[in-house]
Amino acid sequence: MCGRFTLIGPMRISSAYPRYHFEEFSEYRLPRFNVAPSQAVLGVINDGRNSVQPLHWGIGGRINARAESITARPVAFRCVIFADGFYEWRGSKPVYYTMKDDRLFAMAGVWEPVRDGEPPCAIVTCPPNALVARVHDRMPAILHDGDLEQWLAPHDLAPGEARRLLQPYDQADMTARDASMRLNDARYDRPDVLVDDDPVQGSLF
């Protein structure tokens, strides 16, 4: 699953994804080191507006949606959720995954229309690559930049096309390191969560 992630560089969204409009004075431009379920996340929904907006993380109590389940039929309401890293846990110890070049990335998501407020969303998960598999049996489905246009097209996406996009990301582009156990407190959102504070425990990485 994917239960926590970071968006340390939200201001990079505009340069990394210039196609998507992100309001210059958005209150959501502050760095986040421990994004947790039920909080606001930044993403784009497939409504054709290409606008970066806050989404509510969680649909009816579900924070993740399995790729295998949502592709059983055409996928209508799709979104991306921006991040620059995500966490998985081995026991009580968090492990932090990023791209080797620390670039921003877009996780595939699904969302539900609402009359008022932030649209609820869930992060799509897929089987892990070999790097993540050392810790967990799922990982977020990270989309390649060239696939964003298809994923965010304002029409239903056929199951076969969706399955092609929702694959484990290439482990050669990723890296992992142990992080602070302060992350176990979802209310704690400070830069020191990125530093391993338990050197006595053997590091997997």
Question: What are the tens digits of pLDDT across the range 58-108?
Answer: 999 999 999 999 999 999 999 999 999 999 999 889 999 999 999 999 999
Q: Out of 14-28, 47-61, 85-99, 152-166, pick the least confident.
A: 14-28
Does residue 197 have a pLDDT over 90? no
Compute and round to an integer the Cα radius of gyration of the chain: 16
2 labelled catalytic:
yes
Residues in the chain, overall count: 205
Going across the sheet that includes 174-178, the strands are 32-35, 4-7, 85-90, 93-99, 174-178
126 labelled catalytic:
no
Q: Categorize the per-residue pLDDT at 28 as very low, low, confident or very high, splitting at 50, 70 and 90.
A: confident
Q: Which residue in 23, 68, 79, 88 is the catalytic one? A: 88
Q: Categorize the per-residue pLDDT at 204 as very low, low, confident or very high, splitting at 50, 70 and 90.
A: low
CA torsion sign, 113 to 151 to 50 to 102?
positive
Does residue 46 have a pLDDT over 70? yes
Residue 203 pLDDT: 53
Correct CATH for 4-191 of 1.10.150.670, 3.30.300.160, 3.40.50.12280, 3.90.1680.10: 3.90.1680.10
Residues 6+ apart with CB under 8 A from 54: 28, 40, 41, 42, 118
Q: Are 177 and 21 in contact (CB under 8 A)?
A: no
Long-range contacts of 96-103 (CB under 8 A, 24+ apart): 96/6, 96/176, 96/177, 96/178, 96/179, 96/194, 97/131, 97/132, 97/139, 97/174, 97/175, 97/176, 98/174, 98/175, 98/176, 99/173, 99/174, 99/175, 100/173, 100/174, 100/175, 103/16
Query: b or e along 56-67 (b: 16 or more beta carbons within 10 Å of the residue's beta carbon)?
Result: bbbbeeebbbbb
- Averaged pLDDT, 18-28: 86
Q: Categorize the per-residue pLDDT at 138 as very low, low, confident or very high, splitting at 50, 70 and 90.
A: very high
Q: How many whole angstroms separate alpha carbon 98 and alpha carbon 37? A: 19
Q: Are 157 and 3 in contact (CB under 8 A)?
A: no
Percent of the chain with pLDDT over 90: 90
Q: Are 108 and 78 in contact (CB under 8 A)?
A: yes
Q: What is the largest CA-CA distance in the chain?
A: 52
Does residue 182 have a pLDDT over 60? yes
Q: How many whole angstroms separate alpha carbon 169 and alpha carbon 141? A: 7
Of the CA atoms within 13 Å of residue 44, those in its CB half-sphere come to 27
Model pTM score: 0.95
Residue 37 pLDDT: 97
Average pLDDT of the chain to the nearest whole number: 94
Residue 23 pLDDT: 85
